[in-house]
Amino acid sequence: MYEELTEILRGSDNIVFFGGAGVSTESNIPDFRSEAGLYSAQSNYGMSPEQMLSHSFFVRDTETFFDYYKNNLIYTDAEPNDAHKALAKLEEMGKLKAVVTQNIDGLHQKAGSKTVYELHGSVLRNNCMSCGQFYDLDYLMDPAHCDGYIPKCEKCGGVVKPDVVLYEEALDDYQISGAVDAIRAADVLIIGGTSLVVYPAAGFVSYFRGSKLVLINKSSTSMDNRADLVIHDAIGKVLKEAVDGL
Ligand code: ZN
C-alpha cells in the first residue's frame, strides 16, 4: 500500500526520522499541547500547560508544577507502538542513522533504537538540583521519596528535577548538534507525527540537503508542498507496512 515509501527506504542507507507528538499519541500518551490538553489544564489548574511547564513556574510553585507534571506528562504503562518498532528495525538493518524526537517518554529506546536525539529531554532521567545525583522515573513517582508532589534527593534533601526542557529553558547542546549533524548528512528525511508548528521543528528541517523528504501526518502541514512524498495517515500503520515491505 505504501510502495513508494518502501522504495525510498530500499534505496537509502542514510535515513533520519524526525518525530513529534503524533508518534506518542499512538501509544496512548496524549499531547498536552492539544485542544483537550489545553482545556484540562485550564479547567483543573486555571493555567495553560505552557505556563505550568515554564522554568519560572517551576521555581515559583514547585508543588503545583509536579502535581501537573506527574498527572499529565507521565504514563508509566506506555509501550512502544508500530512506529517505534519499525524505526528500531530500520536502524538494525543499517538504514536509519538517527531518530530525532520532540517526545520525552523514552519509547524509542524501549523499542530498541540506539541513536536517539531527544530535543526536549526525557522523563526517565532526573537529577538532584543540589548534588546532581541521578534518579530514575520510579524514584520520582514514589510518594515515599516526595514531600507532597515534590521529589527529594535521598542523599542531600535537594529537589529532584526531571531532565525535561521547560519553556524558557535552552535546548541541550549535545542533543541539538547531534540532531543537526544527522539531518544535515541524511539522504532521506522522514518527518512524522508533527504538524511542524511546535518550536523548534521547522528550524531543524531546514538543515536537510538530501534527496527525499517524506512527510507522514494525519493532517496536512505547512511543508507538504516541499515534500517529495506526503502521506496523510497514522504513523504507526504507515511505517509498519512500509518497513514490512522491504
Ligand atoms: Zn542531592
Query: Which domains, from first to last, does the chain contain?
Result: 2-29+80-120+171-244 (3.40.50.1220), 35-75+126-164 (3.30.1600.10)
pLDDT of residue 45: 96
Give dist(CA 90, CA 108) in Å, integer.
12
Residue 120 annotated in active site: yes
CA of 218 to the centre of ligand 1 (A): 44
Q: Which residues of the chain have pLDDT under 50?
A: none
pLDDT of residue 198: 64
CA distances in angstroms from 240 to 95, 105, 175, listed in the order given = 15, 20, 27
pLDDT of residue 217: 92
CA of 156 to the centre of ligand 1 (A): 4
pLDDT of residue 159: 98
Instruction: Indicate if the alpha-carbon torsion angle 138, 143, 146, 149 is positive or negative.
Output: positive
CA of 142 to the centre of ligand 1 (A): 16
Cell 532521506 locates to 188
pLDDT of residue 203: 85
Q: Which three cell numbers stand for residue 85?
A: 518498532
pLDDT of residue 11: 97
Q: Which three cell numbers stand for residue 129?
A: 538540583
DSSP code of residue 224: G
| Closest to 20 measured CA to CA, from 100, 123, 96, 89 | 100
Give dist(CA 39, CA 178) in Å, integer.
35
Q: What is the pTM of this model?
A: 0.94
